[in-house]
Each structure stands twice: as structure tokens, then as C-alpha cells.
């Protein structure tokens, strides 16, 4: 191992994240994903209202982007549990 890798490994072991700060970070991440989901579905509703025959294509895109946004929220939840456990 190089000296830089050793220093980084030691810093990672000694990192102590406050559980309260982790909770605030996850809360901000959850708010961001909630806003994203709201924007996705409002765009689908507006698009389907303007052009009803495109509803099938819009729903496919909407579910794909919904899954991506919720995946980011789940990653934030996992990071919160990792940070609060250490």
C-alpha cells in the first residue's frame, strides 16, 4: 500500500458522523426525491391531458424515472443507517 492509501484508510476508520447530522442529510434527500416524484407525475398528467394517445409512452418513461428517483432515496436511507451505526 502506498502512504496515501494508508492515510485514507486511517481517515475512513476514524470518521465519526453524528447520527443527528446523518438524519438531517437523509431528510433533505427524502424531500428532494419527493419533489422529484411530484414533478414526474405532474408532467405525466399534463402530457396525457394534452395528448391522450401518448399516455402509454409517457407512463413507461414515468415509471422508469420514478424508480431511479426512489432508488436515490433508498441509497440515502442505507447511507443514513451506515453513518448512524458507526
| Number of domains into which the chain is organized | 1
Euclidean distance between CA atoms 65 and 40, whole angstroms? 7
Q: Are 69 and 40 in contact (CB under 8 A)?
A: yes
Inside any domain, residue 2: no
Q: What is this structure's pTM? A: 0.70
Inside any domain, residue 41: yes
Inside any domain, residue 51: yes
35: CATH: 1.20.20.10
Inside any domain, residue 8: no
Q: Are 36 and 69 in contact (CB under 8 A)?
A: yes
Going by C-beta distance under 8 Å and a sequence separation of 6 or more, which residues neighbour residue 30? 73, 76
Inside any domain, residue 34: yes
Greatest Cα-to-Cα distance within the chain, rounded to the nearest angstrom: 62
Inside any domain, residue 24: yes
Inside any domain, residue 73: yes
Q: Could you list the residue range(s) of the whole structural domain that residue 60 is in?
A: 18-85
pLDDT digit string, tens, across residues 20-61: 888 888 888 899 999 999 999 999 999 999 999 999 999 999
Question: Where do runs of H (alpha helix) occur along 1-86?
Answer: 3-14, 19-50, 55-85
Q: Provide mean pLDDT across the span 7-26.
A: 70
Amino acid at each position: 500500500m502506498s502512504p496515501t492509501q494508508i492515510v485514507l484508510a486511517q481517515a475512513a476508520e476514524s470518521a465519526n458522523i453524528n447520527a443527528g447530522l446523518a438524519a438531517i442529510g437523509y431528510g433533505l434527500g427524502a424531500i428532494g426525491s419527493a419533489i422529484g416524484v411530484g414533478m414526474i407525475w405532474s408532467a405525466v398528467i399534463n402530457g396525457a391531458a394534452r395528448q391522450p394517445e401518448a399516455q402509454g409512452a409517457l407512463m413507461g418513461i414515468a415509471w422508469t424515472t420514478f424508480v431511479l428517483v426512489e432508488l436515490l432515496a433508498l441509497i440515502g436511507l442505507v447511507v443514513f443507517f451506515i453513518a448512524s451505526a458507526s
